[in-house]
Structure 1
Amino acid sequence: MSEILDEIDKRLLEELKRNARENIASLSKKLGIPRTTVHYRIKRLIEEGIIERFTIKPNYKKLNLGTTAFILVRYDPDSGLTQREVAEQIAKIPGVYEVHIIAGEWDLLIKVRAPSAEDIGKIVIDKLREIKGVGQTVTMVSFVTVKEEL
């Protein structure tokens, strides 16, 4: 970054995280700065890589993907694959939304979405556990999401 984010940049980012479609005039009014300044700051945040993209927040329940689970995976080093290769294979499974290589007792943390817990079970049993390099797994179904950022 060419400069540290100031309070206006931070407030602008928060507003854009809430609604990336909000127009410049509305942002200008909320932040109390001229529209040209808002436009310039957004452009700069994009150029500096602070804003990577503008996206949407789907309603997963309405998409029939209302069940979320987190899966912990132990990597099997005898598989002949690297941990990163295993993670990349897992990332290709339909229904997998996040794959993290983590430190600690477990090696990977995976976030999945599906219509039901039964469907998540199918992902784990029929897809995830079939990947070479996947050892033990533990699946935790989420009851409710209190906070989730994009």
Structure 2
Amino acid sequence: MDKIDQRILTLLQKDATLTIAQIAEQAGISSTPAWRRIRKMEEDGVIDRRVTILNPEKLNLGLTGFVLIRTSDHSDQWLKDFAAAVSQVPEVVEAYRTTGDVDYILKIVAPDVAGYDQIYKRLIAAARMNDVSASFSMERLKDTTELPLTYAAG
């Protein structure tokens, strides 16, 4: 990955609706090489997908929560069942298996605490857990989907 690829990725991370011509111009190359580079990065999996980012508050999803889960069952079957259950809850927007005292962290969105309670009930019905706790965001200090490109091979 060279500086031009990094520039293209920077542009796409900021605005995936840019045309090939706009990307090419801003990256300092012509349209055909820009298109080829983007296609190659898609084929290589560098560009995973292109999405539209929605405003959660405008969709009545003003509560962001971080659910901390501990379990005593660390079997493959438990993990498969839990992952399948989590994938069926659309309000869970991110899910991680972690190191340390907490086994799993989920990021959820909900309209309010009552909405979170409904999510909580679906989660505890889906898999046996030792401890479930949640913290709720009071203020979003940073919210980005842009990854730093300074570590990209080049």
With the length of structure 2 as denominator, give the TM-score of the two structures.
0.84
| Residue 86 (1) aligns with residue 82 (2) | yes
Matched residue, 1:131: 126
Q: CA deviation at 1:45?
A: 0.5
Whole-Å Cα distance in 2 between the matches of residues 78 and 39 of structure 1?
A: 45
Residue 80 of structure 1 and its aligned partner are, at CA, apart by 9.4
Matched, 1:36 2:32: yes
Matched pairs, number: 145
Match of 1:144 among 139, 144, 148: 139
Q: Displacement of 1:118 after TM fit? A: 2.6
Deviates most, 49-58 or 69-78? 69-78
SS of the residue aligned with 2:56?
A: coil
After TM superposition, the structure 1 = structure 2 runs for residues 9-28 of structure 1, keeping only pairs within 5 Å, are 9-28=5-24
Query: Aligned residue for 1:63?
Result: 59
Please report the RMSD computed on the Cα atoms of aligned residues, expressed in angstroms: 2.0
Identical aligned residues as a percent: 28
The answer as to 2:109 corresponding to 1:113 is yes
Answer whether contact 2:94 2:107 (CA < 8 A) is retained: yes
Report SS of the residue matched to 2:130: strand
Q: 1:78 to 1:7 in 2, by over 3 A?
A: closer
Q: Which runs of 5+ in 1 are unaligned?
A: none
Residue by residue over 1:32-83, the C-alpha shift from the partner in whole angstroms, topping out at 9 and shown as x without a partner, is 1111111111011011111122111011111111211110101231899423
Give the Cα separation in 1 of the matches to 2:143 and 2:70: 27
CA contact (8 A) 2:81 2:127 kept: no
Letter in 1 for 2:68: L
